[in-house]
Amino acid sequence: MAIKMALLTPNDLININKQLQEADSTVQRVTGLDIKGICKALYGTSPSSEKVGIVPVTSGNGIIGNFSASLHAITQYFGFESFVTDMPDVSGYYEAVRNGAEIILMADDYTFLAHNLKNGKMANNQPCTGIIYAEIASRYLKADSKDVFVVGLGKVGFPGAAHLVQKGFRVYGYDPDENLFQRAVSNLGVIPFNPEKPKKFSIIFEATPCANTIPESVLSENCVLSTPGIPCAISEELRTKYDVQVVAEPLGIGTVSMLYSVL
């Protein structure tokens, strides 16, 4: 049985430009680079004049209010020329190609993809999101060690954890799903996190659809929490108490990661 993606709601997509500006500012403060700079360093690519066609999709739970408009705003914010097709689904795909789209963005309940029609490259949002949020976390300028705490080892968290392992970090992991947890331990060498033996981290990467997953015992003063998860993984009380630098934005960072990965 296929596992559905965590679905955004129209409320998650309100004020997308403001959210992107705030995320860009936080990423720059945390890493010294803005989001585009992180993507360029991560993938070794830069956009030129690629035209992005955004195709609404009606299957499954149907079109999420503001989703296509948000993708349009995100692509333009990051310097891509883009348009939303008038028609959805196959008719929309046809329209996008006829109107000169070189990259297609489209999503149903299971997959959100970017497909570059010129070079054939294709990207899935889940691993691209995990990898860029992990990359942001890995570049924290005030990190006090190479230890990283990863919460959530599914379709977003596992690729992010793998990226951190490849970069030479000591990755401590936790997932309530024993199968996902053991897969990360076996395949990646993730170190099991033992809540009975508290350890503080300056770098935390969280990828779950649950609120308040980060316990106080793991927080160090002025640590970074890089999380694409909705709702937010940390309470406002703990965020303030420990002056946590939170990188969290519901759609744009993962989307631009996809786009740079297919250039």
Q: What is the pLDDT of residues 132-171, one digit of tens each?
A: 999 999 999 999 999 999 999 999 999 999 999 999 999 9
Tokens 């690729």 correspond to what residue? 159
Query: What pLDDT is stored for residue 83 in this prediction?
Result: 98
On the question of pLDDT at 218 being above 50, the answer is yes
Give the 3-state DSSP-derived string for the chain, with helices as H, strands as E and coil as C.
CCCCCCCCCHHHHCCHHHHHHHHHHHHHHHHCCCHHHHHHHHHCCCCCCCEEEEECCCCCCCCCCCHHHHHHHHHHHCCCEEEECCCCHHHHHHHHHHCCCCEEEEECCCCEEEEECCCCCEEEHHHHHHHHHHHHHHCCCCCCCCEEEEECCCCCHHHHHHHHHHCCCEEEEECCCHHHHHHHHHHHCCEECCCCCCCCEEEEEECCCCCCCCCHHHEEEEEEEECCCCCCCCCHHHHHHCCCEEECCCCHHHHHHHHHHCC
Answer yes or no: pTM beyond 0.85: yes
The residue-averaged pLDDT of 45-74 equals 86
Query: For residue 82, what are its two tokens?
Result: 């883009």
Separation of alpha carbons 253 and 87, rounded Å? 26
d(CA 199, CA 216): 10
pLDDT at 64: 56
9-54 confidence digits (pLDDT tens) = 555 556 888 899 999 999 999 999 999 999 999 999 999 999 999 9
